[in-house]
């Protein structure tokens, strides 16, 4: 990739993050129901207290000074203090990141492997029962509310079959158990949440892989390969699949926002102690600084992932390298 | 006359698309239920039942049982269909208006207008929409119209991109040049030459956006952002989940609203997918 293109991409990503920061700032300062006016709405509060609160949040200063203060705090990693936990937002979020990361990575790996395989088979057997079945599965899973799928899986696998635990990440009774027992316990807690999240993603990935494969299979070089006398499996493995996979990198990165959306719901249903569960708690307690922090982190993560996907795309598809 | 034969051949293509026909049938079914709602439902959806009516299993009197406050589930479903459809369609209307406006303006005027608008669109396109919507909904407060606003204002980015691409393609066509050379203004060209050609795409996109809007409404309401005075299917699921209906085995309270969402969204997804196949010949079976 040329340096100018690379610099341009960095510049674009930085601009997008700046956009996120501005949206984040104005959402919480300008919208009705911001924390300061919520506090000031208390009828028993004296005029001095209101002034005091405004000073505390810097609301007595002009908006550009306020934005500068907010930006300065961000650079120092200060996201303010949570209303309900009475701790630093950055610290609380940091504690919850590993659980969400574990859940999404496991689900993504499952979904990418299964989704791509289904997509390839469906495109190859186009119009046959396998294809129709795959398409049906994809459209149904796309239309299913993620949290509802989670509830159904809990009701069936935990409530009815008693195979997996209902919620949480580790059984409270295992505080003094050996690490191996703890690991096994965590894995059994992980099965249902990651399965739920993966099932929702598989449909999307399969559908896109299928359409990408169909596009590739109508290209001239596939006809050429067949004319050269290559076996069908060689055409598939060496010519069709690698080329059909190229758009998938972008799609997977682009749909990370969708994955996070799914993870938030799954965590809520399974009480998985990650960012999604945290967001649900923050919503219930109208904990604005915490909400703002989670929104900021997830947005930056998505923009970052898209940036990386852009770069990777440049490496695997020589056509966009110029 | 050409547009009529166009519509007719579209209809013939559509009729042979099983997925599309099934989708349309599902949507029509739900629309009829929603419209006839007050005449169908035997109980008042909002008034609580007597203590002995709480969490009754499905049976005579209560076809689908009752919820944790003794309300008839079937009645709540019918009332919920009105809210879910109303919110889904209204939010889609906002999304389509914003998306079309941004897409057409960016594509038609080009240059820095295009660059600025598309950067802005990209921010909305990649942002994880659920956190953004939850934050907005929490700040605005729970009301049906706030939810409409939140979903509408966060869901337009994909549409804007599609419409822009189509506008760019049409801009290069000869009739645009001709219109300009005889002195037509931008407003006239956009309304009379550009829009008629962008319209089929707007139509196909509207259907897919509706599916997403209905899902968004359900998710927001499930997470407690719904208006409890006008319960939707998502709101029902919120109360079902909060009351622990899943673990207590009161499945009649959890399955029906979810199935309704699934079916209705599937209806719109099927229909949208069918239109995609009709409008994109490469996907059409040879």
* pLDDT single digits (tens) A270-305: 888 888 888 888 887 777 778 888 888 888 888 888
Report, as an integer, the average pLDDT of B230-235.
85
Distance CA A255, CA B147 (A): 23
Q: Which residue has the higher pLDDT, B51 or A200?
A: A200
What is the domain extent for residue B239?
9-285
Distance CA A34, CA A31 (A): 6
Residue B210 covered by a domain: yes
Q: Report whether A271 contacts A265 (CB < 8 A).
A: no
Which of A261, A271, A278, A289 to substitute to test the interface with B, most B CBs within 10 Å? A261
Is residue B1 pLDDT above 50, yes or no?
Answer: no
Predicted confidence at residue A39, as pLDDT, reads 56
Asked if the Cβ–Cβ distance from A28 to B132 is below 8 Å, we say no
Q: Report whether B56 contacts B74 (CB < 8 A).
A: no
Which range, of A54-68, A99-113, B114-128, B227-241, averages the lowest pLDDT? A54-68
Where are any strands of DSSP class E within B79-233?
none
Q: What are the structure tokens assigned to B122, written together?
A: 């990209």
SS (H, E, C) B236-264: HHHHHHHCCCCCCCCHHHCHHHHHHHHHH
Residue with tokens 């110029």: A322
Residue B2 covered by a domain: no
Q: What are the structure tokens assigned to B158, written together?
A: 């994909």
Which of A122, A146, A148 to substitute to test the interface with B, most B CBs within 10 Å? A148
Distance CA A257, CA B126 (A): 6
**Cβ neighbours of A44 (radius 10 Å):** 5
Per-residue pLDDT band for A140 (boundaries 50, 70, 90) equals: confident
Distance CA A226, CA B283 (A): 22
Predicted confidence at residue B263, as pLDDT, reads 92
Which of A131, A147, A203 to substitute to test the interface with B, most B CBs within 10 Å? A147
Contacts of B237 in chain A (CB under 8 A): 145, 147-148, 151
Residue B19 covered by a domain: yes
- Find the distance separating the first CA and the last CA of chain A, reported in whole Å: 7
Asked if the Cβ–Cβ distance from B126 to A16 is below 8 Å, we say yes
Q: Report whether B55 contacts B113 (CB < 8 A).
A: no
Contacts of A264 in chain B (CB under 8 A): 130-131
Where are any strands of DSSP class E within chain A?
none
Q: What digits encode the pLDDT tens for the residues A63-94?
A: 777 777 777 777 777 777 777 777 888 888 88
Contacts of B120 in chain A (CB under 8 A): 19
Residue B78 Cα to chain centre, angstroms: 18
Q: How far is CA A171 from CA A104, A178, A184, A194, B67, in A?
A: 21, 13, 11, 17, 31
Is residue A36 pLDDT above 60, yes or no?
Answer: no
Predicted confidence at residue B48, as pLDDT, reads 63
Q: What digits encode the pLDDT tens for the residues A9-32?
A: 788 888 888 888 887 777 766 655
Q: Which residue has the higher pLDDT, A162 or B89?
A: B89
Residue B3 covered by a domain: no
Report, as an integer, the average pLDDT of B44-64.
64
Number of folded domains that form chain B? 1
Q: Which of A28, A145, A286 has the CB atom closest to B258's CB atom? A: A145
Residue B186's CATH number: 1.10.3720.10
Q: What digits encode the pLDDT tens for the residues A110-135?
A: 999 999 899 888 888 887 888 888 88
Is residue B264 pLDDT above 90, yes or no?
Answer: yes
Distance CA B69, CA B52 (A): 10
Closest residue on chain A to B208 (Cα): A143
Per-residue pLDDT band for B90 (boundaries 50, 70, 90) equals: very high
Which ipTM did the prediction report? 0.83
Vertex A144 angle, CA B99 and B221, to 5°: 70
Q: What are the structure tokens assigned to A192, written together?
A: 């249902």
Report, as an integer, the average pLDDT of A232-254.
81
Distance CA B130, CA B207 (A): 20
Q: What digits encode the pLDDT tens for the residues B142-197?
A: 788 888 988 888 888 888 888 888 888 887 777 877 877 787 777 777 777 777 77
Flag whether residue A308 sits within 8 Å of chain B, measured between CB atoms.
Answer: no
Most confident of B83-92, B137-146, B158-167: B83-92
Bridge partners of residue B66, in order along the sequence: B72
pTM above 0.90, yes or no: no
Flag whether residue B130 sits within 8 Å of chain A, measured between CB atoms.
Answer: yes
Residues constituting chain B: 286
Could you tell me what percent of chain B has a pLDDT over 90? Answer: 10
Predicted confidence at residue B2, as pLDDT, reads 44
Residue B4 covered by a domain: no
C-alpha neighbours within 13 Å on the C-beta side of residue B208: 17
Q: Report whether B112 contacts B246 (CB < 8 A).
A: no
Q: Which of A32, A254, A261 has the CB atom closest to B126's CB atom? A: A254
Residue B105 covered by a domain: yes
Could you tell me what percent of chain A has a pLDDT over 70? Answer: 87
Flag whether residue B119 sits within 8 Å of chain A, measured between CB atoms.
Answer: yes
Residue B165 covered by a domain: yes
Residue B1 covered by a domain: no
């Amino acid at each position: 990739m040329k340096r100018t293109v690379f610099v341009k991409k960095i510049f674009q990503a930085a601009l997008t993050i700046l956009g996120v920061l501005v949206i984040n700032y104005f959402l919480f300062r300008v919208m009705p129901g911001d924390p300061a006016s919520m506090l000031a709405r208390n009828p028993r509060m004296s005029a001095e207290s209101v002034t005091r609160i405004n000073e505390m949040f810097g609301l007595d200063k002009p908006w550009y000074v306020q934005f500068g203060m907010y930006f300065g705090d961000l650079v120092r990693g200060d996201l303010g203090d949570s209303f309900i936990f009475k701790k630093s937002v950055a610290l609380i979020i940091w504690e919850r990141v590993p659980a969400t990361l574990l859940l999404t990575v496991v689900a993504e790996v499952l979904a990418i492997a299964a989704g791509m395989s289904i997509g390839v088979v469906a495109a190859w057997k186009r119009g046959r029962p396998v294809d129709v079945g795959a398409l049906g599965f994809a459209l149904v899973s796309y239309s299913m509310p993620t949290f509802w799928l989670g509830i159904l899986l809990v009701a069936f696998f935990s409530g009815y079959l008693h195979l997996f635990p209902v919620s949480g990440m580790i059984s409270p009774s295992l505080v003094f158990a050996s690490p191996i027992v703890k690991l096994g316990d965590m894995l059994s807690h992980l099965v249902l949440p990651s399965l739920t999240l993966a099932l929702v993603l598989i449909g999307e990935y399969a559908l896109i892989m299928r359409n990408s494969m169909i596009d590739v299979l109508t290209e001239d070089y596939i006809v050429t390969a067949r004319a050269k006398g290559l076996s069908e499996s060689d055409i598939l493995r060496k010519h069709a699949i690698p080329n059909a996979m190229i758009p998938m990198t972008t799609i997977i990165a682009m749909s990370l926002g969708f994955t996070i959306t799914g993870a938030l719901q799954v965590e809520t249903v399974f009480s998985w102690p990650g960012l999604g569960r945290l967001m649900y708690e923050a919503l219930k307690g109208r904990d604005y600084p915490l909400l703002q922090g989670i929104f900021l982190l997830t947005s930056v993560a998505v923009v970052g992932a898209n940036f990386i996907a852009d770069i990777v795309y440049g490496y695997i598809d020589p056509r966009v390298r110029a | 006359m050409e547009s009529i034969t166009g519509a007719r051949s579209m209809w013939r293509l559509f009729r042979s698309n099983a997925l599309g026909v099934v989708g349309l049938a599902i949507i029509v079914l739900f629309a009829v239920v929603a419209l006839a709602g007050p005449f169908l439902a035997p109980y008042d959806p909002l008034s609580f039942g007597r203590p002995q009516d709480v969490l009754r299993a499905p049976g005579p009197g209560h076809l689908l049982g009752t919820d944790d406050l003794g309300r008839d589930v079937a009645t709540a479903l019918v009332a919920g269909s009105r809210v879910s459809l109303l919110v889904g369609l209204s939010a889609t209307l906002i999304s389509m208006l914003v998306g079309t406006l941004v897409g057409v303006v960016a594509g038609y005027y080009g240059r820095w207008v295009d660059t600025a608008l598309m950067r802005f669109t990209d921010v909305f396109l990649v942002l994880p929409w659920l956190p953004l919507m939850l934050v907005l909904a929490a700040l605005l407060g729970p009301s049906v119209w706030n939810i409409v606003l939140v979903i509408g204002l966060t869901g337009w980015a994909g549409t804007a991109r599609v419409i822009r691409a189509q506008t760019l393609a049409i801009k290069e066509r000869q009739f645009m040049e001709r219109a300009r050379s005889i002195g037509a203004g931008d407003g006239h060209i956009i309304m009379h030459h550009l829009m008629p050609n962008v319209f089929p795409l707007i139509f196909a996109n509207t259907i897919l956006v509706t599916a997403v809007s209905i899902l968004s409404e359900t998710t927001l309401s499930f997470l407690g952002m719904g208006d409890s005075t006008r319960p939707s299917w998502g709101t029902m699921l919120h109360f079902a989940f909060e009351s622990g209906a899943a673990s207590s085995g009161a499945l009649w309270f959890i399955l029906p609203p979810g199935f309704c969402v699934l079916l209705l969204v599937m209806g719109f997804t099927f229909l949208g997918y069918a239109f995609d196949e009709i409008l994109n010949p490469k996907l059409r079976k040879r």
